[in-house]
Amino acid sequence: MTGNPRIDDDLRETIISRPDVILEDQDLMRALIAANERSMGGNIVDLRGIAMDRLEARLDRLEDTHRSVIAAAYENLAGTNQIHRAILRMLDPIEFEPFLRDLGGEVADILRVDVVRLVLESAQGDDDAAVQRLGDVLSVAEPGFIDRYVSDNRSSPIRPVTLRQLQTGDRRIYGDKADWIRSEACLKLDFGPGRLPGLLVLGAEDPHQFTPQQGTDLLAFFAGVFERAMRRWLS
């Protein structure tokens, strides 16, 4: 009798006929390499094994990066489709009041936000009957309010799209829903020469829905389409 157990003949034939099965099994390959290192003894440095370990670590990092890139691409595609659907729904109404009401209804649902508010600056206040009827979507503020709100009363430059997290929403914007707003997107609107600016605010209960680290390209595109639609109603 020998000290080394003999491998089963059927298993041996399977390995010889299909060596790729072993090569593609990472756990099995690790076990074989570890057995080879033990057989060489502790005084021998296996440079090939060290190189393989490093290559394997690099491969794992590349696979993680690959998965992250694919996930980001799918997320970007989903966001693009979401914005496109919201724009198409926004362009459906042929009258101004349904156009605004849809912002707080189907458009908000498509964008998956909890509140949509349109703020218009005016020197005449909010006594207009249309403003009163659309108070859950539309509000009117004094000139200069939008820049102060978006900049949070700071002197920093105002960007077309501002994403931020909140402790609580501003009641001037959200009314009785302000207490549970935890993040928002502020889209500053330009209605053309001679007109005061506007602000489209998207509010969310989720504090992570809008954060400063996120990209703003899609929301900037949405704001551009909204500006052009509003110019039609304001002309």
pLDDT of residue 93: 87
Where do runs of H (alpha helix) occur along the chain?
9-17, 20-23, 26-40, 47-90, 96-102, 108-111, 129-133, 145-151, 171-174, 217-234
* Domain annotation for the chain: domains and CATH numbers: 9-61 (no CATH), 81-234 (3.30.450.40)
Q: Hey, how many other C-beta atoms are within 10 angstroms of the C-beta on 53?
A: 13
Name the pairing type of β-strands 138-141 and 115-121.
parallel
* Stronger pLDDT, 34 or 128, i.e. the higher one: 34
Place 194 in a pLDDT band, splitting at 50, 70 and 90.
confident
- Mean per-residue pLDDT, 170-192: 92
Contacts of residue 43, defined as CB under 8 A and 6 or more positions apart, other chains included, come to none
> 37-41, 139-143, 154-158: lowest mean pLDDT where?
37-41
- Mean per-residue pLDDT, 194-203: 92
Is the four-CA dihedral 8, 12, 18, 24 of positive or negative sign? positive
Angle between helix axes 217-234 and 47-90 (nearest 10 degrees) is 10
pLDDT in tens, 23-50: 677 777 777 777 766 666 555 556 666 6
Check whether 111 has a pLDDT greater than 60: yes
Question: At residue 111, what are phi and psi to the nearest 5 degrees?
Answer: -80, -10
Check whether 1 has a pLDDT greater than 50: no
Q: Calculate the average pLDDT of the chain.
A: 82
* Stronger pLDDT, 195 or 30, i.e. the higher one: 195
Maximum CA extent, the chain? 105
